[in-house]
Every structure is written in structure tokens, then in C-alpha cells.
Chain A
Amino acid sequence: MSAILSADDLNDFISPGVACIKPVETLPPKDTKNQEDAYEVTTEDKVQPEDLPPAQISLTDCLACSGCVTSAEAVLISLQSHAEVLNTLDAHPEIPLTHEPHGVGVNNTEDSKEGKIFVASVSPQVRASLATTYGISEKEAGYMIDQLLSGPQGLRGGGKHGNGFTWVVDTNAMREAVLVLTADEVSDSLNSGESSAMSQSDDSLPKRPILSSACPGWICYAEKTHPFILPHLSRLKSPQALSGTFLKTVLSKSLGVHPSRIWHLAVMPCFDKKLEASREELTDMSWRQGDSSGSESQPVRDVDCVITARELLSLASSRGSSLRDLPLQPLHSSFNPPFPEKTLDSFLSLKRSRAEQSLATGTSGGYLHHVLMTFQARNPGSELVVNRGRNVDVVEYVLMSPEGQPILKAARYYGFRNIQNLVRKLKPARVSRLPGAKPAVRPAAGRRQPMSRNAVSTGSSGSDYAYVEVMACPGGCTNGGGQIRVEDARETLGPSQGESLDASMKPSPHEQRAWLARVDEAYFSMDSESESELETQSQLLSLADKEAKIHERLRSWSEYMNIPLSKLVYTTYRKVESDVGKDQTPANDTSRVVELAGKIGGGW
């Protein structure tokens, strides 16, 4: 399957499409690049020191066309690298913490004001990737990462300050919250109005069908290419973003430290997450109340840097750490301080119970699955009917009442080619340009089921769905562009398999499928880390109880911060207008030239 191959890493910038319209994002102040400097064609050379790896975006990674990423953006993204992590760790001392009876606090007398607090969040797909690479369990992979990031034999073993990460959290925790909030959003949407065509009473509610928003490749693509999709996008932040918001808000408040002094690294399965981290909407501007230090300062990102699973390997080796040699044990408590805010600590230690991630949920978090389970629980006796679409990445679900009435229709669309078909269904009907021509008639209802050559009925038109989980990568996030590939794994493990390995030879699709299956298996094998009896009891909680718990925790978070929950958990999207070729900016010849200069081959 060519879709699995994310091996198209380029050593150069991608040749952009006809008109890349994504705006150049500005970086936090330490970077000198801004709009004016971008005028200089040589910017990319100045910013990129030699030891930085070349920009690594794979074409199959990002949905937003082969050319959405301009040279400027590619630079932005290349700045988020393992080298950057090490540089940052070396550039700032850690803010010393004291362990006090009521929790953890900052040792103000020793704080040099140059210091930072380092925190990290790790996604489960990354653990699965690591587990498969090293032949260990997913839990052990988690320990390995903890040891690398926080433990004495990991990053702390080197560098100027011997810095490491004070807290390493699992994005699963925040994902649980996003799942519950997604179900809420869908409920609200179904309750507020029957017709999807009419604007709903609550204007901020997304239009039906609600489309998942956790995948940044999808978001980028929708913003750039199909702005009519934007009103359908779920308002919720992704688990990465929400983890960022959580960490920055809670830590800054509880430790009395400005969010800019908290440096948050996320380890993710793909490169598009780097784009997400640099979004303007995902900064403290969206949740910060007016306070003394807020007004003039630059926005602080919720996530400062994202590295991929593959880059984690580079991170370790750059620091001279061998991942294989790290102890596969939980961190010693001296390296694992409790979270400063005790009640919220429990939020972060939310564990998944066994077998909640399975083929049914997929490998991207299971938003759709959770919505379906929630509604099924609320409708006793209902039955879930599954219709596979034209390929394994398109699946339709109908929740049928005991009387045979559809309660809810939802679907999953993974991969670029399938997303095309979803988007087409949602596109507003186009008016024919031809005078007197007879355009294809599209009746709003009662369409004949088209029979495709796969002899599978493609089912309902887009507007029937209540929710669609959309992911850019076929197979879900375990197949992300930043995951460790089978050829990388061979290099890492060395020729220990009695076969002469030619690392330059591309593995066959069959091999890649086999590899992906193993990563999926590792992902699905995530089990509860509970050791206390108290925790085991949580497995017996019903869906509704768990939901309630999460709502309660979200409430306490909001109360603690004194910020409305909507500001913490919701985000917005913006239509990226092309200003290339538009006549209303006649004076902007320079900007046109700038634009062209930023594209390979001048953009043609």
C-alpha cells in the first residue's frame, strides 16, 4: 500500500503548489524572522545552521497539498527538532523546585530567573512505535521514554546543566477529556435542531456533520483548500493542545511562574503536529485573562516544541544515551516529583483500562468509537450496524434502535483519497457556469445508492452523519509520518537477524503492512497501569460514571484557574484566503515577489 509509505522524506524543501496560501507564522521572539525579513531570499540559509537536519516533511504525511509547506514554514518546522530540544535544555537552567509538605513549589531563592521548567507529553502511538522497535511492551516503552526524558541515565546524563524533564505526561489523559467533550458536542448538536441546513440556535456549535479536529494535517488541508468545511469542525482542541493548555495553566498558577518559563515538549507520531504547535490560536492568548504580565508580552505557545518518535531516537543518540540500556522501570521518586496541584494530579494519572483500544476504536484515539458507545449506552437495546466502505479506511456506523430506526449515523474517513469523497459530499452544490446548460441534477434526498465496482454501497450522503472521525493517515496515527519505520528499526537493531541487511533497499509494501500491524498490536495492548485495588475498581465503572468523573475534573480545572472551560478546551479555525493573484492589492508587488521567492522554482 503506497499510502503506508511515509518514506518520502525529502532532503530539500517540498516544491510548493501553484499558490501556497498558508500565512507565514511568526515565531516566539528569540527568532529573528518576521514578515519583513522574509523578503530576503536568503533567509532560509541564515536561519538554518548546518547541524540541523534537513526539513523533513513527507508528502504522504500532510494532507495539505504537496506544496502547502512553504520554505518559510519548512524552516519553522525544522526548528522543532531534537537539536532544538538539546539546545534549549542547555540554554536554560532548570528552575529549582522544593518538595514541601503541601506539594511542590519553586525555590525562589535559588531561581535565577533564567531558568525554565521542562515538561513533556507523550502520545501512545509513539510508545507503540518504540515498543515494536525494541521488542518490549508498551508499558516498558513508556518507562523507557520516562527514563530518557527524566531519568539520570537519559538526557540528564549530559549537557551543560544536566537538565531533563521534570514531568512527563501521557496525552491519553487529556484525550479522555476530549472524548467526553466530543460526545457532549455531538449530543448538543443533535438536540439543538433537526435540520442540518438551518443554522442552529447555538451559533458556536459546529454544523452537522461534526468533523473531528484532532488531526492537524486535516485541519491544515481544510483551512487551505476547503473552507466550507470549517463550520463543521469540532471546536475541541486536540489532546496535544489540551495537554499543553493544562500544563501551562496549572503549572504557571501553582508554581507562580510565567507560562513563558515553562517549556513544553510533545512527542508525537507525525510532523503535522509541529504545524499544530505553531498555530496562533493555540497560545496563552486564548486563555489568559488580562493580568499584569499579560498585556505586552508575546503570546506563549501551549506546546513549544514537537518531536516525532523517530526524532526521539536521534535525541537519545545525540546525548550519547542508548535507549536499549535504559532501565525499563518506573522512575525513582526523586526524578518523579508529584504534580504541584494535587487534585489535578489525578487528572493526569487517568489510566485507560484494558482493551479499550481495539480495532473498533482505531489507532487515533477512538473519538468516533466513544461517541458511538456513549449513545449506545444512553439507548439501551440499540444495536450498532457497521458498513465498510470502498476500502478499510472508510467505515460507516448506524446505531439502530430496537425498533429498527436509525438513532445515529456516523463514519470514519481516513486517508487523503477517502477524505476527497467526504469533502465532495459536503460541498455546497455548485451552480453551473454554462448559460442554458443542464447541470447534473442533485436531489437533496432520495438519491439512488451508487454501486461502485467494489460492489459496496457507498451509503448516505454526507449530511446524514452526525459525526465523522477524519484522519489524514490511512490506518490512523500509528501510521503517522514520524513513526519509526521498519528500515529505521533495522538500523537501530543492527544486523542481528542473520540476514544481510541493505538499509538502502526500500521495504516492500507487504513488509510495511506487517510492521504496521505490529505497531497496532502494541498500541492495542495498552493495559491498565493500576496497581492499587482502588484503581482496579475503576474498570468496573460504567461509561456514564467515567464521564461524570471527567466532567468533574474539568470543572475543578476551570475553577482552579478561574477561566471558563470553553476558553480552555475550545479553539477556532481560520479560512486561509489566497491573496495571490488578487487585484485588490496592486501595491503589493513586493509581497508577490516575496511569495514567489519563497517557493521552489518560483512557484511555477
Chain B
Amino acid sequence: MAEMQNSNPTILNSADLPTRLRPTATRKSEYGGIFTSALPLAPVDFESAPSSDSEDDNLLEEPIDEQEIYDLISSISDPEHPISLGELAVVSLPDIEIKPTLPDVPDSPLQTVTVLITPTITHCSLATVIGLGVRVRLEQSLPSRFRMDVRIKEGTHSTGDEVNKQLADKERVAAALENGALMGVIAKMMETCH
């Protein structure tokens, strides 16, 4: 098998090691992605942000909200067709939610982003790939204190529960990110992002 990282020759527009971008003081945008710097599209590598979590809080920023999440993921293309997930209504703004991860720990900066996906066909086997793509995109773009919860919207897929379990399994996702072929497909899906 090919070595996973940096194996996809078609995406060479970013040379840096993949990092989670810090929530620098960028403006919200009405169109396109929020982060102006080039997003590394090579498979993610959970590079540690500054080890102290207090640094995240120091930065002046507008809190990341659902609209920004939507902007990040709506431009991902469907793996099979050159149409974006937003256009296919696979992702939609009302199906995005941000909540504190640990409500019982008030000091915790952790936030959980829940994205509900509506696959185009009810038994589409690529639902997991799409879900993975959304997850990867968000993990690459958001600061470390954000946790992703990507799920199939209830009632929209014949094996929704199974897909959700798979998408929620940290170990599976981590291993998937080391699968060159899969990452190639996902990288292609994210070519239309920015």
C-alpha cells in the first residue's frame, strides 16, 4: 500500500504539515470559507496546538458559529459527482449545532459540533465516506477544542445507526485517515473547498 501521508499527487497546493488552524482574528465571510490561509488538504495529522489550552481563549475572535461550519463543509463535493454537498442538500444550516461538550464542567472550553447529514440515496454505501469527509474537513479547519459529531440524519438512511457508530468511532476514523486510497477520494472531494 502506498504510504499514506502526502501520497496524493493531485493536491500539492499546500506544502506545510497539516495543522489545526488557530482561531485567529479572521472575519466571518458571507461567501466561501472563513479561513483565508490555504487549507492543507493532505490527510490530517492531529498536530498539537499550543499545549496549554488557555492560549485558545486569549485570542481575539468571534466565536465560531453554525454559519461558519456550514461554509466550511457545504463546498465539499460529493465523491461521485462534481456537485457540492450544500447544493445536494446533504448538509444544511439547520442541521448544524454547536454545544459545550461537557456541560457539567463549566470551565471546559470544549465545544461539540454536531452535523447531521442527509445522504442523497437511502442506502448509499458512500454515506460513510461523505461523513468521513465532513469530519476530516472540520478537524483540519477548527481548533483542537472542537469535537466533531457527524451523523446521518435520522430516518434518511437504511443503516443510519451503523454508519453513525462508525463515524463516531475515533479509532476507526484515525485508521481511515491512514488509508491512502480513502484519503485520495476525500482529498478530491475537498478540492472544491476554499
Residues of A within 8 A of B (CB): 18-19, 41-42, 45, 71, 578, 580-583, 586, 589, 592-593, 595-604
Contact = CB atoms under 8 A, between A and B. Distances in A.
Contact of A604 (B1, B7, B9, B182): B182
Contact of B9 (A583, A593, A598): A583
A604 to B, nearest CB: 4
B60 interface: no
Contacts of A582: 2
Interface in B1-24: 1-2, 7, 9-10
Given A578-B1, A596-B79, 4 more contacts: A592-B185, A593-B129, A597-B80, A604-B128
A580 B181 contact: yes
Contacts of B132: 602, 604
15 contacts: A18-B179, A71-B125, A580-B1, A581-B2, A582-B2, A589-B185, A592-B185, A593-B129, A596-B126, A596-B129, A600-B125, A602-B127, A602-B129, A603-B182, A604-B132
B123 interface: yes
A604 B176 contact: yes
B180 A602 contact: no
A591 B128 CA distance: 17
B11 to A, nearest CB: 11
Interface residues of B, number: 29
Contacts of A71: 125
A45 B175 contact: no
A582 B126 CA distance: 21
A601 B166 contact: yes
Contacts of B1: 19, 578, 580-581
Contacts of B123: 41-42, 45
Contacts of B83: none
Contacts of B9: 583, 586
A601 B179 contact: no
A523 B151 CA distance: 53
Contacts of A586: 9-10
A595 B129 CA distance: 12
B184 interface: yes
A41 B125 contact: yes
- Interface majority SS (helix, strand, loop, mixed), chain B: helix
B121 A604 contact: no
A129 to B, nearest CB: 35
Interface string B167-180: 00000100110011
Given A583-B2, A604-B176, A599 B181 contact: no
Nearest to A582: B2
Given A582-B2, A597-B126, A42 B181 contact: no
Contacts of A581: 1-2, 7, 179-181, 184
A580 B126 CA distance: 17
A41 B172 contact: no
Nearest to A596: B129
Nearest to B187: A589
A396 B156 CA distance: 57
B181 A41 contact: no
Contacts of A19: 1, 181
Contact of A593 (B7, B79, B127): B79
A64 B36 CA distance: 48
Query: Max chain B CB contacts within 10 Å: which of A583, A601, A602?
Result: A602
A578 B2 CA distance: 11
Contacts of B152: none
10 tightest A-B contacts by CB?
A: A602-B128, A604-B176, A581-B180, A581-B181, A602-B129, A581-B2, A580-B181, A581-B1, A597-B125, A593-B79
B160 to A, nearest CB: 13
Contact of A596 (B7, B121, B180, B182): B182
A581 B126 CA distance: 18
B188 interface: yes
Nearest to B7: A583
A38 to B, nearest CB: 12
B181 A592 contact: yes
Contacts of A41: 80, 121, 123-126
A601 B2 CA distance: 21
A597 B125 CA distance: 5
B125 A599 contact: yes
B87 interface: no
B116 interface: no
B163 interface: yes
Nearest to A12: B159
B161 interface: no
Interface string B61-93: 000000000000000000110000000000000
